[in-house]
Structure formats: structure tokens, C-alpha cells
Amino acid sequence: MTVNQKPDTFNGSKHWPGLIKAYRSFLPISDKTPIITLQEGSTPLIPVDSISRLIGKKVKVYIKYDGLNPTGSFKDRGMTMAISKAKEQSCKAVICASTGNTSASAAAYAKRGGMKAFVLIPEGYVAQGKLAQALVYGAEVLSIKGNFDKALEIVQKVSDNFPVTLVNSVNPYRLQGQKTAAFEIIDSLGESPDFLCIPVGNAGNITAYWMGFNEYLKASKSTKVPKMMGFQAKGSAPIVNKKIIKDPQTIATAIRIGNPVNWEKALKVKEESNGEFFEVSDEEIINAYKILGQKEGIFCEPASAASIAGLIKIKERIPEESNIVCVLTGNGLKDPDCAIKNNDAIFHTNLDPSLDSVIKTMGL
């Protein structure tokens, strides 16, 4: 298979127009929909040979690097749709609950569309980079002494009772936008992969990908669909453990969710695709995070590394010569604290500012 990520032209221009214009015919928009875009999408599909070798059996592993979207996570795919539709409906303000990335994305797109953004976050559990984004984009941030699940309960009630549009993944337009990642994978590979490995929090993204793969199959852009492999973090794995987790814990804050909104849909995806769900420990997540950084030059946030950690964990189940895509949902720069605490770098400090001391320290 050859990787040919970007179609050569869009209406005669080489410039990627954002995913709504690129996949217009697959999306619920009309000529009246104002398109609010930061030219999200068209993220690279990158072969990761060190991971392929680790799995063995002549498999080919790629990562879908969705951390390269405009606000650094796949949430932008859904947000361009949700905010464009909100704008079409003359909405003036949006609200979301967020472990960080949804708030960053909602704030950016809402502001670009001339709307207010209110974001509820769980106090103490939002990575620094994400909080910085929401603040810089000028969202109104409400930090609650409770977890994500509680925050979501509140924002749902707010949007039910006040003129504020909810942009969490219960908003159907979010998944419509997010399904385009599956289109891009098939456009790149020329066919569907055999497996898709993906981190699962609220299970919106796995649902969106499944929708995308099926729509492309129906449109004869592919001849098969992948097995969908969902990975939750141990300590925050309600779907795997078949029970709501009251106090979810994990280093992967983006998937620190105890009661996923799209739980039923996720089970359907698993069944229809012959897929499976597993949990991965924080240790396995950090191991994968380090491999991606040190062997591939790819920096993702810990939640994203769950897809690679999961693949490594289930490698015995992968047949020979499979094509596997692992989704890297968010950028590593989102969570600098995690990076600084979890690396194997050699970091010399307090050196004299002299040639001598530098070459001596380098061992030359």
C-alpha cells in the first residue's frame, strides 16, 4: 500500500480547505450553513516501523496523528461542524464539560464564529496546556470541585433550560465531523485497515470512526471495515468492567471518565465490527508514550498513547500481515507536566558556561 495523504487539488487549489468543504457531500450541511473553520483535518498518517517490529508478524502499523489539528486534538473535527451548525441556528453561546481538549476546541471555534464559550472543567485534573488554551481563546472557565461526569450532568441541564448550545459529543454534529478521520485514512491507504486502535473516554470518537468507515464502504471507497479495538485506562474503564466508575483515576486525564455518554453506541460498534475493548495501565501507557517519543519522534498526550499501549498488549491476537492504524488523539504539548515527569532523557544542569565544561560533560 502507498501512503498518499493529501489529494492534489481542491477546486483547482492546492490549499486544504478544512474538512467540511473537503467532505461536503458526506456531511449534513447546506448552502446556508456558515462554515466556521480553522482548516482542521488532513492530518498525517505516519508509518511507525519500531511499533510494527515490536508486534512482528510482518504487520504494518500507522498512526493517525490527530494531535496536529489546529487546537492540538481531534476535537476540532467535531467542533468545526458543531459550531458551524450552532451559527446556522443563530446561537449566541455554547457550553461544554471537558477534561480539557473539548474546552480548548470549543473556545477556539466559538470565538472564531463570534460566540461566547462557557466551559466546565474538573478542578485539578486538566492538563496545563489545555487550560492555557481555553484562557487564551477567551472562554469563560468554570472549574468545579467534581469530576468530568458531574460537569457533564450540569451542562446538560444548563443547555436544556437556557439558550446555550451544548457542544459535548452528545451533540450529533460532533460525531459527523469526527467521522471524516476514517475517510482520510481510507483516502491515504486506498483501503480500510484491518484494525483500528483507539483510546476510549466518552466513546464518541470510536462511534464516529465506525460511522465513517461504514459510509465509505457504502460509497465503494473501500471493500471492508476494520475491527474496532477500544482501549480504556485501568482505573477509568467502565465499559471493560461493565460498571460505572464513581471515582475514575488515571494519568491519561483526557479519558478519565467513569460513565461514558456513548456507552451503548460503543457496545454496538464492538459487536458490529467484531472488535474488542481492553484496559491498559498507566505504566503501559507511559511505556508506549516513551517509545513513540524516543523511537519515532512523535509526541502525543498520555491518553493518546493508550492506543499504542493497547496494540502492544494484544499483539498475540493480531494476524500476520495486518494493516493497523492507531489513533493519536492529542498533542504531547498539551501535558508538559506528564512529559517532564516521564522521560528517560539525560539532562545535565548547572554547567559552567565554558567550552571545557561542555565537552567534558559530553564525554569528548
Ligand X SMILES: *Cc1c(COP(=O)(O)O)cnc(C)c1O
Q: Which residue lies nearer to ligand X by CB, 59 or 289?
A: 289
Only segment of 80-88, 209-217, 297-305, 356-364 that touches ligand X (CB under 6 A) = 297-305
Q: How many residues bind ligand X (CB under 6 A)?
A: 18
How far is it, in rounded angstroms, from Cα 20 to Cα 1?
A: 27
How far is it, in rounded angstroms, from Cα 81 to Cα 92?
A: 16
10 Å Cβ neighbour count for 270? 20
Using the rule CB under 6 A, which residue among 82, 254, 285, 309 binds ligand X? 254
Site string for ligand X, 308-337 (x = CB under 6 A): ---------------------xx-------
For cell 477567551, what's the residue? Answer: 138
Q: Which residue lies nearer to ligand X by CB, 147 or 205?
A: 205
Using the rule CB under 6 A, which residue among 37, 84, 103, 169 binds ligand X? 169
- Give yes or no for residue 171 binding ligand X (CB under 6 A): no
- Give yes or no for residue 201 binding ligand X (CB under 6 A): yes
Only segment of 209-217, 268-276, 296-304, 355-363 that touches ligand X (CB under 6 A) = 296-304
Using the rule CB under 6 A, which residue among 55, 120, 255, 292 binds ligand X? 255
Nearest-10 crossing angle of helices 263-273, 204-218? 40
- Give yes or no for residue 199 binding ligand X (CB under 6 A): yes
Residue list 87-116, contact with ligand X (CB under 6 A): 101
Site string for ligand X, 112-141 (x = CB under 6 A): ------------------------------
How far is it, in rounded angstroms, from Cα 168 to Cα 260?
A: 12
How far is it, in rounded angstroms, from Cα 141 to Cα 134?
A: 7
Only segment of 145-153, 200-208, 289-297, 312-320 that touches ligand X (CB under 6 A) = 200-208
State the nearest-atom distance from the C-beta of 158 to ligand X, in Å.
20
Q: At residue 107, what is the residue type?
A: A
Beta bridge pairs of residue 122: 144
Q: Which residues contact 294 (CB under 8 A, 6 or more apart)?
A: 344
Beta bridge pairs of residue 277: 230
Q: At residue 228, what is the residue type?
A: M
Of 140, 139, 144, 169, the closest CA to residue 154 belongs to: 144
Residue 12, classed as helix, strand or coil, is coil
- Give yes or no for residue 307 binding ligand X (CB under 6 A): no
Q: Give residues in contact with ligand X (CB under 6 A).
A: 73, 75, 101, 169, 199-205, 254-255, 301, 303-304, 329-330
